[in-house]
């Protein structure tokens, strides 16, 4: 049965798939950028923007090709031979789970380029900066379309290096420390993840390759079936490896310490991408890889994930209350918000998975916007020390209003996007999947709900200190402090609109993700 | 279908109009002259007000006309809600269709119809049921659950529509002058519009998820308007305090919604579905209890119940018209509305009929006392009003907690108007008195502001529960309910009530002849008596405290003076159809509730009999009909037709009991203490301090 399926799949699709164009268009852009002389700043910017826009255009084309009535199935798939020695194949495809995240990436990247138009972080060098962003984009998009573990891993790692350089070169004063910490943490997680992938490869059943050999497989769509025979103990260890690999990226509670440093030191655009897309690679990994392939192990680990998630919610919130730096505060709020997402995932229910994906997208939009705002605040005040700020609404009213909206969305106000990640996450914990400890998850639910109060506390307190009141003497007559400028409007307005629209019409996303979630859970037999 | 009926199915227009007004003011307001900005807001609210009047009429038509039991088509016939477990999917409407077999003759368990229905069911369908108009579409799906997005119109929501649009309109108009030349005139009006939109959205929601959205959005507007002058840290602190305190309660609301959702089968958030479940015999009482307690957490914060009331006085940092609209008349009653809307959930979960510890009533009663007592020590006129709001909210919650659904909702209605007027009056006073709210700096303003003085006086009297003003009728209802239903705790409520509003209390226990009595009330005429206020307060309080259960005072007060008519009319009945469909725990024998004479719906037990007494035979019969209960009848109709003026036009309104035979000596023997108490009532003292003190 399995063999026949594999044979059918192996012949499928061509390399010149829309998804291939989507993934590699930014890479082509990066090559073009490399050919442009360093001093030609305007040309570099235009090419970078054009690349992201063309990629986004391909994304729009994919949207038109995507069959929303069948969002549960993998679409636009291709399955071609790639590294035959280990039977790693070029398998790509998208469904209702990856589509929203791809669209999020395609939205965030052009906005980042637009924002960088006038805000190129020191030490400048737009050529290197934009090239790295393009490579980063390929890595992110590739991770979301890859359906082969090795392919996924490659893209996952492609993301790492550009980010390392973005933080290490264009970052703040402590950039060396932060970038190395980021790199080591993620690499450590990746190493464990790779070991887990290999173990999965060797312990799962074999399939018949197109060349007629019996080989193990890295195919994500087949592994849920192939991995059924793995012994319980081994499965637990494999899951633990993936757990740590993805958990570092999310980041989950004990592995989160790289995040505040990375965020604080990263240039604005780096922070935005990190928060909006990179963190989602971790949660996406849980939903796409770890849980469907090893559902029984996931069930065993779920309480641990849930507990760590809730610790993250409370711990992240408490850390927020103690922060004196605006960016660091937002970074810790990411820890808390991703805690909600992980709690939702740990319930192993359709509600939870939907909530998680919604939470991922919403968090991407909202925290992305918050980091943009933090960056612009720094630009104007040359500091992010909260105690020195104040009166933003007075000096830059529009910016203050947008920040107000972002803050409200971030604390989960119904009617804005954040709510639909948070509320269903809490809801899903009431009734976790069969076999999970109901009492435990209901306790987690209550603690998570208390986290929403803390979220209101730290976010509004931040807002009060930054936006309300009157500016301190230091900044009162500073001519640098102006309201939102054109590039900022272009970069922020789409986020603002989407936050409101997604908050009012959650069906846009739920109706896409739901079929895919149901299929995934059905596949996993949870 | 005429326009009014059609409007019932187009309820979404109201929040949509206000939301558009918000967007217009926010986006282009700055480019318009000040007067145009406010004009947009006022025009939008005026449209909504007119439309809500139309809806009120439409609803009254529906209640009185022959079509009341028909399901109204909404033009979305392809919408299919989730089939409720054990119930066949209905083709022509959602929960609006009563499932007669399963539940009983009057089966739509909204608070209103559940309360009225439970009573009337015992009378074999004397009052026919009116099916609420629910128009819903599928919002989104998760798993196999379809989430509906819908609007629901019934008596409760049209009443709220009237309150919200009416007061919002007045506040919009008033604000034109009040915030003239304000730094943030545009934002002010934008937020007012957004608030009105959110509140309308909230009261029209057909499911708890939407209610949660409206609930939080009004909180957001409250935050924005309390912090309207955010340059001062004091104001932004108050805004933060309000939002975060509310957020604490919202945890309860959030979890409560989740628990009740799962308890009711995890298929729908629809309020009818939840209520229906709560009244069905199959309900899981533990889950309902937990759910109701959690939901009450939300009520506690939003409606300023003890101990989460602390944000409300601070919320007075906002502009005064905002205090009138949001922190007195509309937003703060959202919690009360929540209980009223999900009444069956509270009823079943907290066993309002059968429990020995009436949690909701207790918190309400405690809040009444706490709010009233704290009001005494305020010097800020707005804070006095804020604490009195807390106290009045306690009243409403208490009423709901003792089963007096109609009374609580009625008080919500009346309170909104006189309290809003009081706040608007306070705003005028402060503008006249050089922008101070400190009553120590006021006095003798009657001379300079005669009109404001008169309106303030009228509202004060209404707040104090003085005949013939609105507050009298509604408070009276609540006391009747508490007296009949709440057992020992009722005494506590009387203590609180008597403190702030002794007249109604005395009247209740005394003779049942308020109109007679109140005609002869000496009005305070001399500023010299101001000094008596605080002493009087203390004395009044000390007189109330011994009224706790068991003390001899309480026995002598309650035992001897309880209206006999009421008592006899509340004689225990044999288990009725209503009783039998309540959860088993509430279906206990009537004798287990010693003080509460009526088994299932205590307050309405008396109401029922009174209604039949009033409608069947005018009060000329030998047995004196309990006057208090007769007025209950009027307020039931009030709920359906929420215009005060309609009272007189209602055929069922029996008028004051003309043929009563109470001995006048009773009246006069009470007078001295009564007058003293009344003199010392909290709102009255406020009034005196502002208007009568010489400079």
Q: Can you tell me the distance from the alpha carbon of B105 to that of B124, in angstroms, rounded to the nearest whole number?
A: 8
Q: Can you tell me the distance from the alpha carbon of A394 to that of A471, in angstroms, rounded to the nearest whole number?
A: 8
Task: Give the model's pLDDT for residue A209.
Answer: 79
B273 and B321 Cβ atoms separated by less than 8 Å:
no
From chain A, pick out residues whose CB is under 8 angstroms from the CB of B139. Answer: 506-507
Task: Give the model's pLDDT for residue B639.
Answer: 27
For residue A62, the 8-state DSSP code is H
Task: Give the model's pLDDT for residue A526.
Answer: 55
SS3 state at B621: coil
Cβ distance of B262 and A468 shorter than 8 Å: no
Confidence of residue B514 (pLDDT cuts 50, 70, 90): very low
Angstroms from A469 CA to nearest CA on chain B: 4
Angstroms from A247 CA to nearest CA on chain B: 26
- Mean of pLDDT over chain B: 65
Worst-scoring range by mean pLDDT, A158-167, A196-205, B426-435, B488-497? B488-497
B166 and B114 Cβ atoms separated by less than 8 Å:
no
A206 membership: H or E segment, kind and range: none
Number of H-type helices and E-type strands within chain A: 23, 4
Nearest CA in chain B to A404: B224
Smallest Cβ distance to A452: which of B217, B247, B261?
B247
Smallest Cβ distance to B251: which of A431, A450, A460?
A450
Worst-scoring range by mean pLDDT, A1-5, B355-359, B531-535, B655-659? B531-535
* Whether pLDDT at B94 is above 60: no
Phi, psi (degrees; rounded to nearest 5) at B316? -70, -5
Task: Give the model's pLDDT for residue B46.
Answer: 92
Question: What residues in chain B have their Cβ under 8 A from chain A's Cβ atoms?
Answer: 138-143, 212-213, 215-217, 220, 223, 227, 230-231, 233, 236-237, 239-240, 243-244, 247-248, 250-251, 254-255, 258-259, 261-262, 266
Cβ distance of A393 and B262 shorter than 8 Å: no
- Written as six digits, the tokens of B246 are 């509310």
SS3 state at A82: strand
* Whether pLDDT at B223 is above 80: yes
B139-153: per-residue pLDDT in tens? 887 877 888 888 888
Task: Give the model's pLDDT for residue B690.
Answer: 58
Nearest CA in chain A to B249: A453
H helical segments located in B227-284: 233-263, 271-279
Domain ranges for chain A = 2-524
> How many CB atoms are located within 10 Å of the residue A188 CB?
15
For residue B11, the 8-state DSSP code is T
Angstroms from B138 CA to nearest CA on chain A: 9
Task: Kindly give the pairing relationship between strand A207-208 and strand A88-94.
Answer: unpaired
Which of A468, A472, A499 to mutate: most B Cβ within 10 Å? A468
A148-179: per-residue pLDDT in tens? 999 999 999 999 999 999 998 988 888 889 99
Smallest Cβ distance to A414: which of B141, B217, B243?
B217
* Whether pLDDT at A141 is above 80: yes
Nearest CA in chain A to B294: A446
A7-48: per-residue pLDDT in tens? 455 667 788 888 999 999 999 999 999 998 888 888 899 999
Cβ distance of A446 and B255 shorter than 8 Å: yes
Question: What residues in chain A have their Cβ under 8 A from chain B's Cβ atoms?
Answer: 349-351, 354, 391, 393-394, 408, 413-415, 419, 423-424, 426-427, 430-431, 445-446, 449-450, 452-453, 456-457, 460-461, 464, 467-470, 505-507, 510-511, 514, 518
- Written as six digits, the tokens of B506 are 């005395």
Cβ distance of A468 and B233 shorter than 8 Å: yes
Confidence of residue B687 (pLDDT cuts 50, 70, 90): low
Q: Can you tell me the distance from the alpha carbon of B298 to that of B318, in angstroms, rounded to the nearest whole number?
A: 22
The β-bridge partners of B138 are B148
* Whether pLDDT at B646 is above 60: no
E strands, B479-601, in order: none
* Whether pLDDT at B688 is above 70: no
Cβ distance of A510 and B141 shorter than 8 Å: yes
Those residues with Cβ within 8 angstroms of residue A221's Cβ, 6 or more apart along the chain or in another chain = A9, A74, A91, A93, A147
Task: Give the model's pLDDT for residue A104.
Answer: 93
From chain B, pick out residues whose CB is under 8 angstroms from the CB of A349. Answer: 143
Q: Can you tell me the distance from the alpha carbon of A51 to that of A28, in angstroms, rounded to the nearest whole number?
A: 8
Cβ distance of A452 and B250 shorter than 8 Å: yes
Whether the ipTM is more than 0.85: the answer is: yes
Cβ distance of B217 and A415 shorter than 8 Å: yes
Task: Give the model's pLDDT for residue B69.
Answer: 67
Task: Give the model's pLDDT for residue B653.
Answer: 26
Cβ distance of A468 and B258 shorter than 8 Å: no
Percent above pLDDT 70 for chain A: 97
Cβ distance of B142 and A408 shorter than 8 Å: no
B129-139: per-residue pLDDT in tens? 677 888 888 88
Residue B651: burial class (beta carbons within 10 Å; 0-12, 13-18, 19+): exposed
Q: Can you tell me the mean pLDDT for A475-502?
A: 88
* Whether pLDDT at B642 is above 70: no
- Written as six digits, the tokens of A204 are 């799962």
Cβ distance of A507 and B213 shorter than 8 Å: no
Confidence of residue A61 (pLDDT cuts 50, 70, 90): very high
Task: Give the model's pLDDT for residue A280.
Answer: 92
Three-state secondary structure string covering B395-426: HHHHHHHCCCHHHHHHHHHHHHHHHHHHHHHH
From chain A, pick out residues whose CB is under 8 angstroms from the CB of B249. Answer: none
H helical segments located in B104-154: 111-122
Cβ-based contacts under 8 A for chains A and B: 94
B638 membership: H or E segment, kind and range: helix B627-640
* Whether pLDDT at A314 is above 90: yes
B135 membership: H or E segment, kind and range: strand B133-142
Smallest Cβ distance to B236: which of A414, A469, A506?
A469
A273 membership: H or E segment, kind and range: helix A268-273
From chain B, pick out residues whose CB is under 8 angstroms from the CB of A446. Answer: 255
H helical segments located in B377-513: 381-401, 405-432, 445-448, 450-463, 470-485, 488-510
A215-260: per-residue pLDDT in tens? 888 888 888 888 888 888 899 999 999 999 999 988 888 888 899 9
The full DSSP string for A437-484 is -HHHHHHHHHHHHHHHHHHHHHHHHHHHHHHSS---HHHHT-TT----
SS3 state at B146: strand
Task: Give the model's pLDDT for residue B553.
Answer: 27
Number of H-type helices and E-type strands within chain B: 33, 2
SS3 state at B205: strand
Percent above pLDDT 70 for chain B: 59
Which of A410, A425, A449 to mutate: most B Cβ within 10 Å? A449
Task: Give the model's pLDDT for residue A369.
Answer: 93
Residue A173: burial class (beta carbons within 10 Å; 0-12, 13-18, 19+): exposed
Worst-scoring range by mean pLDDT, A452-466, B354-368, B548-562? B548-562
Task: Give the model's pLDDT for residue A228.
Answer: 81
B52-88: per-residue pLDDT in tens? 888 888 888 888 777 666 776 665 544 444 443 333 3
* Whether pLDDT at B597 is above 60: no
The full DSSP string for A345-389 is HHTTSHHHHHHHHHHHHHHHHHHHHHHHHHHHHHHHHS--BGGG-
Q: Can you tell me the mean pLDDT for A353-365?
A: 93
H helical segments located in B78-154: 100-103, 111-122
* Whether pLDDT at B561 is above 80: no
- Written as six digits, the tokens of A314 are 């409370």
Task: Give the model's pLDDT for residue B201.
Answer: 92
Which has more confidence, B204 or B641?
A: B204
- Mean of pLDDT over chain A: 88
Omega within 30 of 0 (cis) for the link into B267 = no
Task: Give the model's pLDDT for residue B134.
Answer: 82
Cα B176 to its chain centre, rounded Å, is 28
Worst-scoring range by mean pLDDT, A21-35, A387-401, B441-455? B441-455
Omega within 30 of 0 (cis) for the link into B395 = no
* Whether pLDDT at B650 is above 90: no
Q: Can you tell me the mean pLDDT for B254-265?
A: 89
Smallest Cβ distance to B262: which of A413, A430, A449?
A430
Cβ distance of B258 and A445 shorter than 8 Å: yes
Task: Give the model's pLDDT for residue A246.
Answer: 92
* Whether pLDDT at B695 is above 80: no
């Amino acid at each position: 049965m399995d063999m026949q399926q594999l044979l059918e799949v192996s012949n499928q699709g061509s390399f010149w798939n829309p998804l291939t164009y989507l993934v590699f268009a930014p890479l082509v852009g990066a090559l073009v950028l490399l050919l442009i002389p360093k001093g030609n700043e305007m040309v570099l910017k235009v090419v970078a923007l054009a690349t992201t826009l063309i990629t986004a255009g391909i994304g729009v084309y994919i949207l038109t090709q995507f069959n929303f009535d069948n969002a549960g199935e993998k679409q636009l798939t291709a399955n071609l031979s790639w590294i035959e020695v280990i039977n790693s194949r070029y398998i790509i495809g998208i469904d209702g789970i990856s589509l929203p995240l791809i669209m999020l990436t395609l939205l965030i990247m052009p906005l980042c380029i637009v924002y960088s138009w006038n805000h190129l972080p020191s030490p400048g060098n737009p050529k290197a900066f934009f090239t790295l962003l393009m490579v980063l984009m390929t890595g992110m998009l590739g991770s979301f379309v890859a359906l082969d573990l090795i392919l996924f891993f490659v893209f996952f790692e492609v993301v790492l290096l550009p980010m390392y350089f973005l933080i290490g070169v264009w970052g703040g004063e402590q950039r060396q420390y932060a970038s190395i910490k980021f790199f080591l943490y993620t690499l450590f997680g990746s190493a464990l993840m790779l070991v887990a992938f290999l173990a999965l490869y060797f312990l799962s059943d074999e399939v018949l390759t197109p060349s007629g050999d019996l080989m193990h497989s890295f195919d994500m769509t087949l592994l849920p079936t192939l991995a059924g025979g793995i012994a319980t103990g081994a499965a637990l260890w494999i899951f633990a490896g993936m757990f740590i690999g993805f958990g570092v990226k999310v980041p989950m509670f004990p592995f989160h310490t790289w995040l505040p440093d990375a965020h604080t030191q990263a240039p604005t655009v780096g922070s935005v991408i990190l928060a909006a897309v990179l963190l989602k690679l971790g949660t996406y990994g849980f939903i796409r890889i770890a849980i469907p392939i090893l559902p029984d192990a996931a069930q065993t680990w779920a309480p641990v994930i849930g507990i760590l998630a809730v610790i993250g919610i409370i711990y992240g919130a408490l850390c927020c209350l103690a922060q004196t730096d605006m960016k660091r505060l937002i970074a810790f709020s990411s820890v808390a918000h991703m805690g909600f997402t992980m709690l939702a995932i740990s319930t192993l229910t359709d509600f939870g998975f939907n909530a998680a994906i919604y939470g991922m997208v919403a968090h991407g939009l909202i925290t992305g916007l918050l980091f943009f705002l933090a960056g612009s605040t720094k630009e104007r005040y040359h500091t992010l020390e909260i105690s020195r700020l104040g009166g933003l609404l007075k000096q830059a009213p529009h910016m203050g209003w947008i920040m107000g909206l972002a803050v409200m969305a971030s604390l989960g106000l119904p009617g804005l996007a954040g709510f639909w990640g948070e509320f269903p996450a809490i809801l899903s914990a009431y009734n976790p999947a069969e076999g999970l400890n109901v009492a435990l998850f209901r306790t987690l639910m209550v603690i998570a709900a208390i986290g929403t109060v803390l979220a209101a506390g730290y976010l509004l307190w931040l807002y009060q200190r930054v936006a309300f009141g009157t500016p301190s003497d230091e900044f009162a007559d500073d001519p640098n402090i102006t309201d939102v400028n054109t590039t900022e409007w272009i970069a922020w307005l789409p986020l603002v609109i989407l936050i409101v629209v997604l908050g009012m019409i959650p069906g846009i996303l739920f109706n896409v993700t739901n079929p895919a979630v149901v299929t995934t859970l059905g596949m996993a037999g949870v | 279908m005429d326009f009014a009926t059609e409007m019932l199915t187009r309820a979404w227009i109201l929040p949509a109009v206000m939301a558009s007004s918000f967007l217009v003011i926010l986006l282009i307001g700055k480019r318009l002259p000040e007067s145009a900005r406010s004009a947009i807001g006022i025009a939008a609210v005026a449209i909504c007000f007119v439309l809500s009047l139309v809806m009120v009429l439409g609803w009254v038509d529906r209640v009185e006309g022959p079509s009341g039991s028909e399901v109204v088509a909404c033009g979305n016939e392809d919408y299919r809600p989730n089939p409720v477990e054990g119930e066949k999917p209905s083709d022509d409407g959602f929960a609006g269709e009563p499932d007669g077999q399963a539940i009983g003759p009057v089966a739509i368990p909204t608070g209103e119809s559940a309360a009225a229905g439970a009573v009337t069911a015992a009378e074999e369908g004397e009052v026919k049921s009116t099916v609420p108009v629910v128009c819903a579409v599928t919002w989104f799906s998760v798993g196999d659950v379809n989430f509906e997005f819908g609007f629901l119109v019934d008596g409760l929501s049209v009443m709220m529509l009237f309150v919200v649009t009416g007061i919002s309109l007045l506040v919009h108009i008033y604000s034109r002058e009040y915030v003239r030349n304000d730094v943030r005139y545009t934002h002010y009006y934008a937020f007012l519009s957004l608030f009105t939109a959110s509140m309308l959205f909230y009261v029209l929601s057909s499911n708890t998820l939407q209610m949660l959205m409206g609930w939080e959005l009004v909180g957001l507007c409250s935050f924005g308007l309390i912090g309207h002058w955010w340059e001062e840290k004091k104001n932004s602190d108050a805004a933060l305090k309000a939002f975060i305190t509310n957020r604490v309660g919202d945890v309860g609301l959030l979890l409560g919604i989740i628990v009740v959702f799962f308890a009711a089968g995890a298929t729908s958030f629809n309020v009818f579905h939840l209520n229906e479940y709560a009244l069905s015999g199959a309900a899981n009482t533990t889950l309902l209890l937990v759910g109701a307690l959690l939901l009450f957490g939300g009520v506690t914060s939003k409606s300023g119940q003890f101990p989460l009331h602390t944000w409300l006085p601070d919320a007075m940092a906002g502009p005064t018209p905002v205090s009138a609209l949001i922190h007195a008349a509309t937003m703060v009653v959202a919690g009360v509305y929540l209980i009223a809307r999900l009444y069956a959930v509270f009823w079943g979960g907290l066993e309002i009929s059968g429990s020995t510890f009436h949690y909701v009533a207790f918190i309400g009663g405690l809040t009444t006392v706490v709010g009233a007592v704290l009001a005494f020590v305020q010097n800020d006129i707005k804070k006095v009003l804020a604490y009195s709001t807390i106290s009045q909210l306690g009243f409403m919650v208490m009423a709901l907690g003792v089963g007096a659904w109609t009374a609580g909702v009625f008080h919500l209605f009346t309170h909104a108007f006189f309290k809003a007027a009081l706040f608007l009056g306070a705003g005028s006073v402060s503008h006249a008195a050089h922008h101070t709210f400190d009553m120590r700096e006021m006095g003798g303003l009657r001379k300079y502001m005669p009109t404001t003085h008169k309106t303030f006086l009228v509202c004060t009297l209404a707040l104090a529960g003085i005949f013939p003003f609105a507050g009298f009728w509604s408070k009276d209802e609540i006391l009747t309910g508490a007296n009949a239903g709440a057992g020992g705790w009722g005494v506590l409520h009387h203590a609180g009530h008597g403190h702030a509003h002794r007249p109604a209390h005395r009247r209740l226990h005394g003779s049942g002849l308020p109109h007679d009595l109140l005609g002869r009330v000496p009005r305070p005429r001399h500023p010299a008596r101001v000094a008596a206020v605080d002493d009087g307060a203390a004395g009044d309080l000390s007189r109330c405290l011994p009224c706790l259960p068991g003390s001899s005072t309480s026995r002598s007060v309650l035992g001897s003076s309880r209206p006999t008519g009421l008592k006899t009319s509340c004689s225990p009945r044999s288990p009725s159809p209503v009783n039998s469909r309540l959860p088993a725990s509430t279906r206990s024998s009537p004798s287990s509730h010693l003080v509460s004479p009526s088994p299932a719906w205590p307050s309405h037990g008396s109401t029922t009999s009174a209604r039949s007494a009033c409608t069947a035979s005018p009060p000329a019969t030998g047995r004196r009909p309990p006057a208090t209960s007769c007025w209950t009848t009027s307020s039931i109709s009030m709920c359906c037709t929420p215009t005060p003026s309609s009272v007189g036009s209602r055929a069922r309104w029996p008028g004051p009991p003309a043929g009563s035979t109470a001995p006048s000596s009773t009246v006069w023997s009470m007078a001295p203490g009564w007058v003293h108490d009344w003199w010392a009532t909290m709102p009255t003292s406020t009034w005196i301090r502002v208007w009568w003190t010489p400079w």
